[in-house]
Amino acid sequence: MSILVKPALLATALLAAASLSASATPSLIGVGSLSRSSDLSGLSGTVESGDAANVLGGIGSGLAWAGGNTFLALPDRGPNATAWSGGASVDNTTSYISRFQTVTIDVAHTASGSLPYTVTASLTGTTLLSSPTALNYGAVTPTINTADHFYFDGRSDNFAGSGSLNPNNARLDPEGIRLSNDGTKVYITDEYGPYVYEFDRATGQRTHSYTLPSAFNAPNLSSMGATEISGNTTGRVANKGMEGLAITPDGKYLVGFEQSPLIQDGGDGGRANRLVKIDINTGAVQQFVYDNYLADKSKAYNSSELLAINDHEFLVLERDGKGLGDGTNAVVKRLYKIDLNNAQDISLLNGGAGISGESNLLPYAVSKSLFLDIRLALNAAGYTDAQIPAKLEGAAFGADIVDSGTTYHTLYIGNDNDFIPGTAGPNNFYVFKFTDADLGGSVFTNQSITPVPEPSYALPFAAGLGLLCLWRLRARRTSLS
């Protein structure tokens, strides 16, 4: 575990900073990292790639504030960036058990250094995700399954028929995470379905599955993404499913979107990305349109995260796949502000049948304005484009801070390092501060989350338990109440 990343200010960064206007906030105040090799799942052994079953990595795929200095950090489907023998048929995915990590991130003012705040990240818990009812597995079934705990994992062959929206499929590629206002329920989206699931925070067990419109369903499935893409003319693009998730501050709605438009709406590289707004209590779904085209780049970019400013305005994280981990230079890492007030629910058009197709959807796209150019902010702090992570994917607001008598809101951004820290760097947390004035007239309302006791990660020892039973308890310790 490391505490603070303090890159030296570069001459080029000073020039970049000078080019920004005096009101060029939000501003980067500190960067912390979490570099330990293992999590607190208690799992032993290895997965198919040779990585430890308890390997810590990729935890910036999703990031959710849990109140105070506590955050939930989400790894994706596990190690698959490195090929393993026999792994080609499953896109080198593994039977890595799906989980979320609980971390504390402390921000303290420092007297010296290139950044004014020290950011200290610590891992405090690991929660494995399971279903109380049976799931569809492929060639490998988790050995820690029990009669009422069937664990989700990242292998791409964990599916049966009935299309990609079948909630009985065990494959899960988590990408978005949010917490309920009462602090007891965790909402997670994924790319395989796309799925939107509710889990009990303390046990990690799924408690509800939200039904998405049939337009998102890819009917023909494959353990290989390229084959799945070529085998479908509608539905989500393989590996480009539900990437971002927001929860409105009142705790009533989830809002999510795909990483790229649906196949029938232009697919990967297209412009018309659908947003879904889900009533948490009733499950009712509305659909809106977001245009991910950037005029200054003459290109559409994929979207990675969605974060609620208030009950109708949101921040969208758009990025390229370039930077640290990709061996290239970052070009686009930006946050745009959008407003769903007065936006057209496109599912109500065409007599209620909805509409599809890029040309049909774009006239209904919500307007957007730039809130933060993350790349330029990191440049100004001394990071070169080659040092900026390729996959900045998670975003969350945190607790306010007071600096020199002024109250600032905080924004945390995490990166997905694909479980290859030697190539993509550590799990970093980039912390920014901003004021209401930086929101261009929008009113910021942070989520009010009730603190709940964290589950105990200490294992009671019971005499007479065999080693196998003890291992099983340890493997499940973060998913049992």
| Dihedral angle, C-alpha 372, 375, 379, 381, nearest 10 ° | 50
pLDDT tens-digit readout, 152-196: 999 999 999 889 999 999 999 999 999 999 999 999 999 999 999
Domain residue ranges in the chain: 11-476
| Neighbour count for residue 464 (Cβ, 10 Å) | 5
Residue 455: the pLDDT is: 60
333: tokens are: 């890492």
Residue 112: the pLDDT is: 67
Residue 305: the pLDDT is: 98
* Burial of residue 21, with CB atoms counted within 10 A of its CB: 0-12 exposed, 13-18 middle, 19 or more buried: exposed
Mean pLDDT of the chain: 90
pLDDT tens-digit readout, 300-332: 999 999 999 999 999 999 999 999 999 999 999
Helices (H), 346-466: 358-361, 374-380, 421-424
pLDDT tens-digit readout, 430-469: 999 999 999 999 999 999 999 887 665 433 323 333 333 3
* pTM value surpassing 0.85: yes
CB 275 within 8 A of CB 264: no
pLDDT tens-digit readout, 39-51: 999 999 999 999 9
DSSP state of 479: T
Query: Which tops the pLDDT comparison, 244 or 473?
Result: 244
Give, in degrees to the nearest 5, the angle at Cα 218 between 251 and 72.
35
